[in-house]
Amino acid sequence: MANTVSEMNRTLEQADCLYSRADVDAALDRIASDLGAAVATANPVILCIMNGGLVIAGQLLPRLTFPLQLDYAHVSRYRETTTGGALEWVVRPQSDLTGRTVVVVDDILDEGTTLAALVEACKAEGAERVLTLALIHKHHDRKSHPGFRADFTGLETEDRYLFGYGMDYKGYWRNAPGIYAVKGL
């Protein structure tokens, strides 16, 4: 365990801080304003994607000044590794989505596989409108659908392995106080 803690501390110390806590706060303020303009009167369901979307949803919800319901889904592709695999459903949303506006909240839009699958799942459950929200949009040409973007995005990064604000490195540092890029990955 001590080796793991030392390795994780070294990872943070050596990482590049791409966005500070203040940068993330400003991005969340912008997202909250834009989201409010789009769905404040729609009786939305905010669908937090576990585990990555937990930090974002927790920071975002107090900024939203309209009635909403909160639910979650748990899907995984990484399972504490640094490369994505097949999509695994752990928990599906429990809310009745029929006729509702659903906002899917995640930490990052990397390839978009998870967000695209959740959009389709919400539509299959009868959602009238499904919007996507990701704190980070990662630039590269490996998107699951060419040109895929979230409806609401806070920050953009180059194609590096990121952690912090919900994104992890080997299961650690979802709690990092900024958005960091791992050296060498």
Q: Is the dihedral of CA 57, 58, 61, 63 positive or negative?
A: negative
Tokens of 180: 């960091």
Tokens of 30: 């912008």
| pLDDT of the residue at 134 | 97
Give dist(CA 141, CA 139) in Å, integer. 7
When pLDDT is cut at 50, 70 and 90, the band that residue 63 belongs to is very high
Q: CA dihedral defined by 120, 124, 130, 136, rounded to 10 degrees?
A: -30
First to last CA, the chain: 23
What class does CATH assign to 24-159? Answer: alpha beta
Q: pTM for this one? A: 0.91
Structural domain boundaries in the chain: 24-159
Strands 129-138 and 69-76: unpaired
> How does the average pLDDT of the chain come out, rounded?
92
* Tokens of residue 38, six digits: 């789009």
Residues 1-38 have pLDDT tens digits of 667 999 999 999 999 999 999 999 999 999 999 999 99
pLDDT at 141: 84
pLDDT at site 125: 93
